Structure formats: C-alpha cells, structure tokens
C-alpha cells in the first residue's frame, strides 16, 4: 500500500529505518520503566573559584544506569525524554533530589541544575522549583538554574513572566554552553542572567588556538560590560585554568577539578575543601 503512494512513503519501510524506529520505541519504553524502577541517579561536578581554588558550587548531572546497557549518556536520553514529555517528571525529580542533597552539604556551595527549554516553556517549572525548595528547605539563593539559549526561542512574553516568578523566589540563572547557540546577545541584557558558562569547545584549545583566544576575550569583555560572571566548562589542564584566570574568568569546572561524582563523594570533597580553606586562613 505504501509503495503506491509514492517514494516518500516507501523510504519509511527501509530496514534501517524500521530498526531505528524499533530502537527508539524500546528506548522510550526503557525510560518509562527506568523512572519507575529508580535507575536514575544524580552526580555532582565541582565548580571552583579560579583565584582561590575554593569549591564554590557543583553542577547536578543526571545519570541513567540501564540494567543491561550500563550508563546511558544524558545527551542521548534527555532529548527523548523531552519528546515523550517525561522530562517534566524527571526534571522535577532531579530538582528535588539535588536540592535535598545540597541542603546536607557541609558548606553553602551553590547547586547548579540543568533545565531544558521544554521544561522552561511551561508553568510547571515554577511549581516544581517551589516544591523542591519546600521539600529540601534549601535557601533559594543557593540554587542556580542552567538554561541554554534554546530556552529563548519561544514566545518571549511568556518568558518574561517565568523569569520574573523564578527570580522572585530568589534563584539565579546561568546561561549554559554559551557561544554555541543562535540567540541574539540582546537576551543577556533583557533577561536576568547572572552567569555565563563558556562552552567547552572554546576552552579545549587554549592557549594555542588564537581564534579560540579571541572568542574568549570577547566573551569576557561582554560579560564584564554587562556585569555578568563567567565560568569556563571543560577545563582539563592547568594551562587552560591559568589562561582563563588571567583573562578574568571567575570560575572553572572540568576534569582538572573533578569529574562528576556521586552524592557521597561530593560531600567528602566539600568537607576536605572546607578544612583546607580553614587551614589556609588560620
């Protein structure tokens, strides 16, 4: 039947696509089950002050331990969870889990949580955040939401209201993967962004790559002019950290300072960091 309707439809029945479609259905079923079966876990990656070296925060990164496939990357399953609509429940779970964890930390480090544009587009994000703060009793000032430029693509009237309500709660916003999106710089000025996360792609090749250096310098100048803090992601070497520090970038995150780790490990890191800071002051 498909064949008679022309070429476009025939393509749908090619074996490779049929396989993709089945794999996709299986992934969706797995994700639904994973949520019921508690296969998700939140990891935490240190964020440090590039001048003092102090641990000032951590980013919550979702992990999925599949019973047979092992760890599945969020880069793979988040887009699928978004399309399925599961992202709302999953995102709310990450918010509550990470805020409760941060409340137990032996310091007042901030917790940065990624929210996808799909979550941002709806009013239930505000409710989910209210619930996470309520359940955890975490002071809102310690919560930072990481959003990407894709959050700005939607109708901006609605955005103003969402930002206003979230800002009213006392939380702050970091713009993730900065430099890789399409959004206009005007958004930085229009919305209450207090931190820019410089994308790893600009960090990997410094200080050797002159073009990456030029981009970093202009991001730093822009941020300084707008009174916005910067954090560089994906710092893997001391040279990269030093280069960014000299450029005036306040914070860094990356394997050099620590890979994403489980809740217990980040607690030990925070505890060790605290005694080290106290020793330095004493």
As a whole number of angstroms, the distance between CA 199 and CA 251 comes to 13
Decide: 236 and 257 in contact? Cβ < 8 Å.
no
Strands 70-72 and 40-49 come out as: unpaired
Q: Binding segment for ligand C2E among 18-26, 73-81, 131-139, 267-275 (CB under 6 A)?
A: 73-81
Q: Which is nearer to ligand C2E, 78 or 99 (CB)?
A: 78
Binding marks (x or -) toward Mg ion, 130..149, rule CB under 5 A? ----------------x---
Whichever of 72 and 270 has its CB closer to ligand C2E, that residue is 72
Is 12 or 265 the residue whose CB approaches ligand C2E more closely?
A: 265
Contact with Mg ion (CB under 5 A) among 101, 144, 149, 177? 177
Tell me which stretch binds ligand C2E (CB under 6 A): 19-27, 113-121, 123-131, 262-270. Answer: 113-121
Residues in contact with Mg ion, shown as a per-residue x/- string from 93 to 112 under the rule CB under 5 A: --------------------
Least spacing, CB of residue 275 vs ligand C2E, in Å: 25
User: Which string of x and - marks every residue 197-236 that binds ligand C2E (by CB under 6 A)?
Assistant: ------------------------------------xxxx
Cβ atoms 225, 13 nearer than 8 A: no
Residue selected from 48, 72, 78, 147 as contacting ligand C2E according to rule CB under 6 A: 78
Task: Give the one entry of ligand C2E, Mg ion, none that residue 260 binds, where binding means its C-beta sits below a cut-off of 5 to 8 angstroms depending on kind.
Answer: ligand C2E
Decide whether 74 or 248 has the Cβ nearer to Mg ion.
74
Cβ closest to ligand C2E, residue 14 vs residue 239 = 239
Does the footprint of ligand C2E cover residue 71 (CB under 6 A)?
no
Min CB(61)–Mg ion separation in Å? 7
d(CA 95, CA 184): 28
- Phi/psi at 58 (nearest 5 deg)? -150, 150
**Binding positions for ligand C2E, 84-103, rule CB under 6 A:** 91, 94
Q: Give the footprint of ligand C2E on this chain (CB under 6 A).
A: 45, 60-62, 73-75, 78, 91, 94, 114-116, 146, 176-177, 233-236, 254-255, 260
């Amino acid at each position: 039947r498909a064949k008679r309707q022309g070429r476009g439809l025939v393509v749908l029945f090619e074996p490779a696509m049929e396989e993709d479609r089945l794999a996709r259905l299986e992934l969706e079923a797995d994700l639904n089950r994973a949520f019921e079966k508690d296969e998700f876990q939140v990891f935490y990656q240190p964020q440090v002050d590039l001048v003092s070296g102090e641990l000032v925060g951590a980013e919550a990164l979702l992990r999925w331990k599949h019973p047979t496939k092992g760890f599945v990357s969020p880069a793979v399953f988040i887009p699928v969870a978004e399309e399925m609509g599961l992202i709302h429940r999953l995102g709310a779970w990450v918010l509550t889990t990470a805020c409760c964890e941060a409340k137990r930390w032996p310091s007042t480090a901030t917790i940065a949580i990624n929210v996808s544009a799909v979550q941002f587009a709806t009013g239930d994000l505000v409710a989910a955040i209210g619930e996470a703060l309520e359940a955890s009793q975490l002071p809102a000032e310690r919560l930072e939401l990481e959003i990407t430029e894709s959050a700005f693509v939607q109708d901006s009237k609605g955005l103003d209201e969402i930002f206003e309500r979230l800002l009213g709660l006392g939380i702050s916003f970091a713009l993730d993967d900065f430099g890789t999106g399409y959004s206009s710089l005007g958004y930085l000025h229009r919305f209450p962004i207090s931190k820019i996360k410089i994308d790893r792609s600009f960090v990997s090749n410094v200080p050797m790559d002159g073009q990456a250096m030029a981009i970093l310098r202009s991001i730093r100048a822009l941020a300084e002019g707008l009174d916005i803090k910067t954090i560089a992601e994906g710092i893997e070497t001391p040279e990269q950290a030093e280069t960014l520090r000299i450029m005036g970038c306040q914070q860094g995150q990356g394997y050099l300072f620590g890979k994403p780790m489980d809740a217990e490990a980040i607690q030990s890191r925070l505890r060790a960091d605290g005694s080290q800071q106290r020793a330095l002051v004493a």
